[in-house]
Chains A and B, each alone.
Chain A
Amino acid sequence: MDDSRSLLLDTAGRLFAELRDTPDDADLAWRRVAELGLPLALVDEARGGFDLPAADALALVRLAGQYALAAPLGEALLANRLLAEAGADIDEGRPTIAVADPRNPLELNREENRWRVTGRLPAAPWAEHAEVIVTIARHDRQNRLLLLDPGSLAATPGTNLADQPRTDLTLDLELNDQRVRELPETLSPEWLFESGALLRCQEIAGALATVLDMTVQYAGERVQFGKPIARQQAIQQQLAVLATQAAVAAGAADMAVDAFHDPRRQSLIAAAKARCGEAAGQALAIAHQVHGAIGMTREYRLNLYSRRLWSWRDEFGGERYWQVRLGEQVLARGADGLWPFITELGSSTEGARQ
């Protein structure tokens, strides 16, 4: 591991560990995270951020998942990155992203010297807590970043299973040029949806590492029939399976992270999100079984992870969504195209890894 990377992760890890005792205080978490400048980690140095490879910045998101960080760091990383790419100011406020369902994109039209945007942004994360919401729309084959003011939107607040704010936004707005900014060709609405899925892969991988740790530790402490349950072979075998699921989720998330700059990122992220989602379900079933009734309580910390994992596996495309996307690509290439498809994706293109 590179020095600057490990320094950053150490610092962030210490902070996230400190915040563990206040898992519901998103404001506090946000303030502390912002003090360290972490939300700028995916922004280039020239634009006021760090000089970090994307993989290192995204490692923060896995760490956030691992510690169940209350603040939406991943969303802020992406939002700031996009603001920088569009040449907009990155102020100190809280930014977040909102993403249209890829099957139901936003409509962006030019009306005289204004823009008109209509459509829906379902389950926008932390929308009411943000100072600016960014999303991507296309107009005349040009990607554009929309800077939305949360106060001006028709919003139906809600939460995911883990009580994280998820707001349905309905857009029917006029925006001026300052708020509709050109983006490079690669940064499409699909890019944002995929990147959201990538964030969830990282968070799932991080959370599963903790779930494994907690469960192994609990099994070592819980005594029944005169010995720790961890001494029972049936429990050991289940914990081994839990470890395989945590490991494969981490590997799949790594694959997604490496694809951040890759033009073929859609297929790689599809595979990763589908696999991470499945791993989350399988791993949690074991974690809860091993914990017994205590794991079903609100008081015990496992639920902080299980409810997040059950939510994250669905967000930005659940298993079914991404399996269909990947499956249609494989089927289109035909039987003899399967293996070349897998090997091509497994090797990075020129410049895909920073």
Chain B
Amino acid sequence: MIDLSFPTPPESQQAESFREQVRDFLATELAGRAPLQRVESWMGFDAGFSRRLGEQGWIGLTWPKQYGGSERSALERYVLLEELLAAGAPVAAHWIADRQSGPLLLRYGTEAQKQAILPRITRGECFFCIGMSEPDSGSDLAAARTYAEPVDDGFIVNGTKLWTTYGHEAHYMVLFCRTSRDNEDRHGGTSQLLIDLTLPGITIRPIHDLSGAHHFNEVVFENVRVPRDALIGEMGDGWNQVLSELAFERSGPDRFLSTLWVLIELIRALQGRDDDQSRIAVGRLTAHLMSLRRLSRSVAGMLQRGENPTLQAAIVKDLGALLEQEIPDIARQLVDTGHADAAHRDFFQVLHYAVQQVPAFSLRGGTREILRGIIARGLGLR
């Protein structure tokens, strides 16, 4: 029997009372935040908000106290994340550091790196970006060409990273690069470096997305001298480290709640209507959300127990992207989009924002085809 089991998600009273605390905080913080801002989900950037969240001790919630963390449970962290997303809080500034760069450093970083960086992340003062993709390396991450040449006192980096989300606002990048000239060793010749983005030789250029917004960037390295102690983990272990990072990236509530605010505004726009078409659509999407949230919380439990739910995480992300993409499609069928009724202004604004974002949901963090390839491998097909 193929084992696709998703164990019962753990529960705790403590996490539920924490939920109330988070909701109270957000109710005050986000009072007056418009739906059009809330629908930005985890792309909404506000450094001030991240700092205030840090003051609460809510960045790096599960990390050890010695690095500024709060040593709370993974369950409480799950609650925090989903409440932030459900409220449409502007979390982008610290999101990547909290979700993957910080945990990566905790796991593989040197003591000096941890002490220098982690407390600043938890205070909401230090933001990260991900330097994986390149012009000729997207899904095929191991094709990365950016080369960090080992020299006496460190590395000299040359290359170009692409699609770097909030690279222009970040203090550091976790750079995935080659550290060996041996191009035959596609995996073993790679490492990860902690890059201070103020170093000379780094140029960050904006790339405007199709809606005209500036989220992602091109980051060019020209003879950038990086000190030896910037190495994260082991030389040549970059590929394995990146894989473990991705399991954390793929199953969280950010993988199925991106268009929750479209559904919320849809429900608002449907108020007063008395037809089964509305009930069916809203009931169906709610059923999908409830089922997927159960799977996602189950993966959170597996991560907490130190298991390796690569397959389960890929399943959650694939189903999650489908749901996030379907919500605006279905919303369009329920409200007459040919007549943008002024009474539903918020609805049309969030809908139009979402329509321009949804194609990315099955690209970022591993494309749909790549995820399905991972699932197929889990089924023993590859």
- The reply on A327 being an interface residue by CB < 8 A is yes
Q: Mark B249-276, 1 if CB is under 8 A from A, else 0.
A: 0000000000010011101101100001
Q: Quick check: B4 and A237 within 8 Å, CB to CB?
A: no
Residue ID in chain B nearest A350 by CB atoms: B13
B interface residues, Cβ below 8 angstroms from A: 1-2, 4-6, 8, 11, 16, 19, 82, 86, 260, 263-265, 267-268, 270-271, 276, 278-284, 286-295, 297-298, 312, 315, 318-319, 369, 371-373, 375-376, 378-382
Asked whether A327 lies within 8 Å of B286 as measured between CB atoms, the reply is: yes
CB-CB under 8 A from B371, the residues of chain A are 240
- Are B284 and A327 in contact, with the CB atoms below 8 A? yes
Q: A213-B2, A250-B6, A254-B6 are in contact. Are A237 and B291 (CB under 8 A)?
A: no
Query: Is A134 part of the contact surface with B, judged by Cβ < 8 Å?
Result: no
> What distance in Å separates the Cβ of A348 from its nearest Cβ neighbour in chain B?
6
Give A312-354 interface residues, CB cut-off 8 Å to B.
319-320, 322-328, 330-331, 334-336, 338-339, 341-343, 345-348
Known A-B contacts A240-B379, A243-B2, A347-B11; the reply to A324 vs B289 at CB < 8 A is no
Which residue from chain A places its CB closest to the CB of B257 in the assembled complex?
A: A339
Contact with B along A219-252 (1 / 0, CB 8 A): 1100000000011010011011101101110111
Min distance, Cβ A70 to any Cβ of chain B, angstroms: 20
A81 to chain B, nearest CB (A): 22
Please report the C-alpha to C-alpha distance between residue A239 and residue B311 in the assembled complex, in whole angstroms: 14
Query: Is the pair B278, A327 in contact by a Cβ cutoff of 8 Å?
Result: yes
Q: Chain A: how many interface residues by the 8 Å CB criterion?
A: 55
B264 contact from A219, A240, A278, A335, Cβ within 8 A: A335
A253 nearest CB across to chain B (Å): 9
Indicate the member of A241, A243, A274 with the most B CB atoms within 10 Å: A243
Min CB gap B369→A, angstroms: 7
- Measured CA separation A176–B369 after assembly (Å): 64
- CB neighbours (8 Å) of A342 from chain B are 286, 289-290, 293
Contacts A323-B287, A327-B280 given: A244-B268 contact, CB under 8 Å? no
Contacts of A170-216 to chain B: CB distance below 8 A: 209, 212-213, 216
Instruction: Assess whether A270 is interfacial by the CB under 8 Å rule.
Output: yes
Q: Is the CB of A275 within 8 A of B318?
A: no
A341–B260 Cα gap in the complex (Å)? 13
Residue in B263, B287, B293 whose CB lies within 8 Å of A322: B287
> Residue on B with the closest CB to A274?
B287
Q: Is A236 a contact of B373 with CB atoms below 8 Å?
A: yes
Query: Cβ of A248 and Cβ of B292 under 8 Å apart?
Result: yes
A128 is an interface residue with CB less than 8 A from chain B: no
Taking a contact as CB atoms closer than 8 A, the residue among A247, A255, A324 that contacts B280 in the complex is: A324
- In the complex, 9 of the A-B residue pairs with CB atoms within 8 angstroms, ordered by the A residue number, are A241-B318, A244-B315, A255-B291, A258-B8, A275-B290, A323-B280, A326-B283, A327-B286, A334-B267
Q: Is the CB–CB distance between A247 and B315 below 8 Å?
A: yes
Report yes or no: A336 in contact with B264, Cβ–Cβ below 8 A: yes
Residues of B with C-beta under 8 A to A325 = 283
Tell whether, in the assembled complex, residue A237 and residue B369 are in contact, meaning their CB atoms are under 8 Å apart.
yes
Residue of chain A at shortest CB distance from B276: A324
B375 x A240 contact (CB < 8 A): yes
Point out the residues of chain A lying under 8 angstroms from B312, CB to CB.
247
Among B287, B315, B319, the residue within 8 A (CB) of A326 is B287
Contact between A323 and B284 (Cβ–Cβ < 8 Å)? yes
Measured in the bound complex, the distance between the Cα atoms of B55 and A348 in whole Å is: 31
Q: Across the two chains, which residue of chain A brings its CB closest to B265?
A: A335
Q: Which A residues are CB-close (under 8 A) to B375?
A: 240, 243-244
Asked if A124 lies at the interface with its beta carbon under 8 angstroms from chain B, I say no
Contacts of A209 in B (CB 8 A): 1-2, 4
B281: chain A residues at CB < 8 Å are 323, 327
Residues of A within 8 A of B11 (CB): 347-348
Interface pair B318/A240, CB less than 8 Å apart: yes
The minimal Cβ–Cβ distance linking B192 to chain A, given in whole angstroms, is 29
Instruction: State in angstroms the CA–CA spacing of A336 and B264 once bound together.
Output: 7
Take A322-B283, A334-B267, A336-B264 as given contacts and tell me if A216 and B381 are in contact as well, using a CB distance cutoff of 8 Å: yes
Chain B minimum-CB-distance residue to A247: B4
The distance in angstroms between the C-alpha atoms of A228 and B271, with both chains bound, is 53
Please name 19 further chain A to chain B contacts, defined as beta carbons within 8 Å, in addition to the given A244-B318, A346-B297, sorted by A numbering: A216-B380, A240-B375, A244-B375, A248-B291, A252-B294, A270-B283, A274-B287, A275-B288, A320-B280, A327-B281, A330-B267, A330-B286, A331-B270, A336-B264, A338-B260, A339-B264, A342-B289, A342-B293, A345-B290
Contact partners of B6 in chain A: CB under 8 A: 247, 250-251, 254
Residues of chain B with a CB closer than 8 A to A254's CB:
6, 8, 294
A323: min CB distance to chain B, Å: 3
Nearest Cβ distance between residue A3 and chain B, in whole angstroms?
17
Decide if A271 is an interface residue (CB 8 Å cutoff). yes
Determine the distance from Cα of A343 to Cα of B284 in the docked complex, in whole angstroms.
17
